[in-house]
Chains A and B, each alone.
Chain A
Amino acid sequence: MKRVSLVLTLALAAGFAAQSASAQTLKAVKDRGQLSCGVSQGLPGFSSPDDKGNWTGIDVDICRAIAAAIFDDPTKIKFVPLSAKDRFTALQSGEIDVLSRNTTWTLSRDTALGANFTGVTYYDGQGFLVKKSLKVNSALELSSASVCVQTGTTTEQNLADYFKGNNMKYEVIAFTSADETVKAYEAGRCDVFTSDVSQLYAERLKLANPADHVVLPEVISKEPLGPMVRHGDDQWFDIVKWVLFAMVDAEELGVTQKNTDEMAKSDKPDLKRAFGTDGNLGEQLGLTKDWFGRIIKAVGNYGESYDRNVGSGSKLQISRGLNNLWNKGGIQYAPPIR
Chain B
Amino acid sequence: MSIEARSPPPQFAFRLKRALGGRAGWSGFFLQVLFALVLVWIGYEIFVNAKANLENQRIASGFGFLNNTAGFDVSQSLIPYSGSDTYTRVFLVGLVNTILVAVIGIFFATLIGFIVALGRLSPNWLISRVAGGYVELIRNLPVLFQMLFWYLAVLAALPGPRQSISLFGVSYLNNRGLIIPRPIGERGLDAFLIAILVAIVAWVILHYYARRQLFQHGKAMRIWPYVLGLLIGLPLLATLIFGVPFKVELPELKGFNFAGGMRVIPEFVALVVALSTYTAAFIAEIVRAGILSVHTGQMEAGLSLGLSRGTVLRLIVVPQAMRVILPPLTNQYLNLTKNSSLAVAIGYPDLVSVFAGTTLSQTGQAIEIIVITMGVYLALSLFTSAIMSFYNWRLSRSLGT
The CA-CA distance from A134 to B267 in the complex, in Å, is: 23
- B366 to A7, Cβ gap below 8 A? yes
**Known contacts A146-B257, A189-B266: A161-B71 contact under CB 8 Å:** yes
Contacts A15-B45, A144-B257 aside, 14 further interface pairs with beta carbons under 8 A come to A6-B366, A15-B47, A15-B49, A22-B57, A89-B366, A92-B366, A145-B257, A152-B358, A156-B358, A172-B74, A173-B265, A176-B357, A187-B156, A187-B175
Give the 4 A-B CB pairs with smallest separation, nearest first: A114-B59, A144-B255, A112-B60, A152-B361
Residues of A within 8 A of B345 (CB): 175-176, 180
* Chain B residues positioned under 8 Å from A191 (CB to CB): 256
Q: Decide yes or no whether A232 CB sits under 8 A from chain B.
A: yes
Query: CB of B152 within 8 A of chain A?
Result: yes
Q: List A residues at the B interface (Cβ < 8 Å).
A: 3-4, 6-7, 10-11, 13-20, 22, 84-85, 88-89, 92, 108-109, 111-114, 134, 142-146, 148, 151-153, 156-157, 159-161, 164, 169-176, 180-181, 183-184, 187-189, 191, 230-232
Q: Which of B341-398 contact A (CB under 8 A)?
A: 344-347, 349, 353-354, 356-358, 360-367, 370
Residues of B within 8 A of A232 (CB): 56-58
In the complex, what distance in Å separates the CA atom of A20 from the CA atom of B30?
A: 37
B75, B83, B364, B365: the one within 8 Å of A171 (CB): B75
Q: Decide if B120 is an interface residue (CB 8 Å cutoff).
A: no
Q: Which chain B residue has the least Cβ–Cβ distance from A154?
A: B362
Asked if residues A151 and B254 are in contact (CB atoms below 8 Å), the reply is: no
| Measured CA separation A180–B57 after assembly (Å) | 34
- Out of A4, A114, A146, A151, name the residue touching B256 (CB < 8 Å): A146
Chain B: interface residue count, which band?
A: 35 or more
The chain A residue sitting closest to B360, CB to CB, is A85
- By a CB distance below 8 angstroms, the chain A residues around B50 are 11, 14-15
Which residues of chain A have C-beta atoms less than 8 A from B58's C-beta? 111, 114, 231-232
A175 to B354, CA, bound (A): 10
Q: Does B221 contact A (CB under 8 A)?
A: no
A176's partner among B60, B257, B344 (CB-CB below 8 A) is B344
Instruction: Note all chain B residues with C-beta closer than 8 A to A174.
Output: 75, 347, 349, 353-354, 357-358
**Residues on the A chain within 8 Å of B175, using CB:** 187-189
**8 Å CB contacts to A: which residues of B58-85?**
58-60, 71-75, 83
- Residue in A closest to B369 when the chains form the complex, CB atoms: A7
